[in-house]
Structure 1
């Protein structure tokens, strides 16, 4: 009896396989339905990992911390740099507890003072009182990051108000030598930050004059960046500047990404002084031919460096939460500056603000009401499970809902099973195959009717909708109203 049962199963399995392969439309095969073609451009693996980091920290620390300046002139004596309680692990653990995934350190700001003992200049930590000239803050921070699991990034200002040779070819050799020192000694680094400030008045070795350079050609960026990649071939370094090439500036320092935010842009249209450049940086371009997502840089204080008079002006947890919504919640990554004080510690006011912010985030996004909820889709690709609506609530970032080619609209109904108060709705596209959605709406079921909650534009890596007031509902409907190609939604979360 057992043998006959097994034989029957084999025959049935063979028949099903035979009918499927022969094109019987009554039997769907996911293998027969191809995945959507990518909508170019798409992110590299390194860019995708950067998106998933979501929040990173900036650390501004140099002689400015002790002279109470934002931009040092370049004539500051290394003797002024004297943190007496510096603790890189306090920086890193404070930031990790707040949820940051990476840290970018200003190894050299415009004043030219180096936080490591560079062998190419005397304007370094080696000639400061810190640890009797034996200190190396770049090393301390990079090692603390490795110890506590944060990724390490570097800022090395291309402008140097201390150097007598700034503006000449000799300075480019100097700058590249320092890049080699940093990446060969303290790497790997996940991101390299290039400031847009280049040229102006400075000390310049005693010349005390204003110098101008052609930012588009002076540094020979293609050669410089190629060299950096040779210094650190793996993992890939992502380069940030106004125009990328890997990450672009968002166009402001307010913590605001555009309500329309494409990770795609044409980087040959980005250069300083162009009319409307800040708006373009904020929104990106739907028809952009490069994947260059926006990074939102903003400081927890009014200034980028620590100033004691700003101790009462640290952003509140509520302000930081709002910044999260207008950065990560609009498809960008947040880079929040947290400047250490003159002791060499993150100030108690900043620590308290970060703790409060983390608590708000944990409370708001603790319970996903849509986790593994039933989903009804207006349509799905090839009517196979691989692309069904249930993929948006399965907590698997590699699965997604998709429509057939040529179908650029569609709806998803998330059934939470019972009436519950809803305050936030978070959506994510499957950006491995490109950013697609141009517009969408969100509705909540109220009795037999659907109440409009939001009408928005792009989604990208992530879009968080915050409702003015919580709405009690058992079902949320997402309507994709326009898309560049068949929409691919990997996640819908409800809080």
Structure 2
């Protein structure tokens, strides 16, 4: 078994992580910024990654994924390749403080990176933009220690027919990642960190699918809608076939959803979130399907996770540990296997 396969097994045993959407959108009051919001307006009064890490640890989470760069292109680290970053806002390097705070509490660190960039001047020049991404990813992979996973999003912008993100592509329209230079990007990542897992969001209307290969993990966005309906069926209906070798691929799955209706914090967020029992149930269903649950919690404009969310997360941990069968509790969580009917794979 190679080192990447061992990493996938170890990743599958983590079970539960925190997704953290934080950036200029937190201040703009939107989910998808257009890249024009002033960097100088990103002024969290006291961004506290230590508090985020404390909340995650108390909730029983084992890793976290921070939005290093969302669709707006704003970077939470002082990238040398753009002026649209914390460097322009006078805020310290948030990727660095995030990584340090979570590792200090024994939690693994992952980063979200949007392929779609609504600020970058070279975005429409595919080759130049691919180089831009490589430069930025090299900064993240060489400057912040071991990265558990890189979570890519926004791939649909360059490969969806007429940019219609809502409909399923026809067989002859299946995305292949060529405009993103995806295969080169994947190889670049693994040249720098061979054990970093690469995840490519398939979008919420294609749960459990893989947008492009190569990839290391499947994802299923907003899968809690199925959980709530109690339709606990496999998120996929076949297998992922490697287009180069023709062989089936064993890809573990990560279910991601958000604690509030929006990925980024918005005023009034405390008035709309699921119960502790519901969160525990999402986690239980994900574990039964052999996957991890990545639960998003957006820090507020002060840079802190609102206090109103914290008791629910702690209570959810207690309920999960009380009610989960021994076989899927954190200490006994097994990696997904092809013998488990709940871990079927999906054909591209």
**Aligned residue in 2 for 1:7:** none
Q: What CA distance in whole angstroms lies between the structure 2 residues aligned with 1:142 and 1:321?
A: 26
SS in 1 for 2:101: helix
Q: CA deviation at 1:196?
A: 3.9
In 2, the alpha carbon distance for the partners of 1:151 and 1:225 equals: 21
Q: Where in structure 2 are the equivalents of 1:121-132 lying within 5 Å?
A: 121-128=82-89
Unpaired segments ≥5 residues, structure 2:
166-174, 203-209
**1:27-71: per-residue Cα shift (whole Å, max 9, x none)?**
xxxxxxxxxxx9xxxx91111111100001110001000011000
Q: How far apart are residue 361 of structure 1 and its match?
A: 1.8
Superposition pairs for residues 393-412 of structure 1, below 5 Å? none
Question: Any gaps of 5 or more consecutive residues in structure 1?
Answer: 1-37, 201-209, 270-286, 369-391, 398-427, 438-457, 462-495
The alpha-carbon distance between structure 1 residues 198 and 161, as it changes in their structure 2 partners (threshold 3 A), is farther
Q: How far has the Cα of 1:211 moved from its partner? A: 12
CA-CA distance at 1:302 after TM superposition: 0.6
CA offset at residue 364 of structure 1? 2.2
SS in 2 for 1:82: coil
Residues 255 and 178 of structure 1, relative CA distance in 2, 3 Å threshold: farther
Q: In structure 2, how many angstroms separate the alpha carbons of the residues matched to 1:151 and 1:177?
A: 23
Corresponding residue to 2:338 among 412, 418, 435: 435
Distance in 2, Cα, partners of 1:197 & 1:291: 22
Larger Rg: 1
TM-superposed CA distance for 1:268, in Å, is 5.6
> In the alignment, which residue of structure 2 is the partner of 1:467?
none
Contact 1:256 1:327 in 2 (8 A): no
Q: Which residue of 2 aligns with 1:170?
A: 128
| Matched residue SS, 2:153 | coil
* Structure 1 residue 226: Cα displacement: 1.0
Out of 213, 218, 234, the position equivalent to 1:248 is 218
- Displacement of 1:350: 1.5
**Aligned residue number for residue 56 of structure 1:** 17
Given candidates 331, 341, 350, the residue that maps to 2:309 is 350
Aligned to 1:220: 181
The equivalent position to 2:48 in structure 1, one of 74, 79, 87, is 87
TM norm structure 1: 0.58
State how 1:346-425 maps to structure 2 within 5 Å: 346-365=305-324
Q: Does 1:297 align with 2:271?
A: no
Q: Is the 8 A contact 2:63 2:110 kept in 1?
A: yes
SS in 1 for 2:179: coil
The CA deviation string for residues 251-300 of structure 1, in whole angstroms up to 9 with x for no partner, is 6442647523679722469xxxxxxxxxxxxxxxxx98101122100001
Partner of residue 118, structure 1: 79
1:161 aligns with 2:135: no
In structure 1, the partner of 2:191 is 230
Q: Residues 198, 187 of structure 1: CA spacing in aligned structure 2 closer, same or farther, 3 A cutoff?
A: farther
Give the number of the structure with larger relative contact order, counting CA–CA contacts within 8 Å between residues 6 or more apart.
Answer: 2
For 1:140, what is the secondary structure of its paired residue? helix
Give the number of equivalent residue pairs.
308
1:194-213 pair list within 5 angstroms: 194-199=152-157
* CA displacement at 1:156 relative to structure 2: 1.1
Distance 2:14 2:334 in 1: 16
Looking at secondary structure, tell me which structure has more helix per residue: 2
Normalising by the residue count of structure 2, what TM-score does the alignment of the two structures yield?
Answer: 0.80
Cα distance between partner residues in 1 of 2:32 and 2:236: 32
Q: Partner of 2:169 in structure 1?
A: none
Quick one: structure 1 residues 335 and 151, their matched pair in 2 at CA, closer, same or farther if it must change by over 3 Å? same
What is the CA deviation profile of residues 434-493 of structure 1, one whole-angstrom value per residue up to 9, with x for unaligned ones? Answer: 4225xxxxxxxxxxxxxxxxxxxx2559xxxxxxxxxxxxxxxxxxxxxxxxxxxxxxxx
Distance 1:263 1:55 in 2: 24
2:170 aligned partner? none
In 2, are the aligned partners of 1:255 and 1:297 still within 8 Å (CA)? no
Asked if the contact 1:60/1:338 (under 8 Å) is kept, the reply is yes
What residue is the counterpart of 1:315 in the other structure?
274
2:239 is the counterpart of 1:265: yes
Quote the Cα distance in structure 2 between the aligned partners of 1:267 and 1:352: 43
| Cα distance between partner residues in 1 of 2:239 and 2:111 | 24
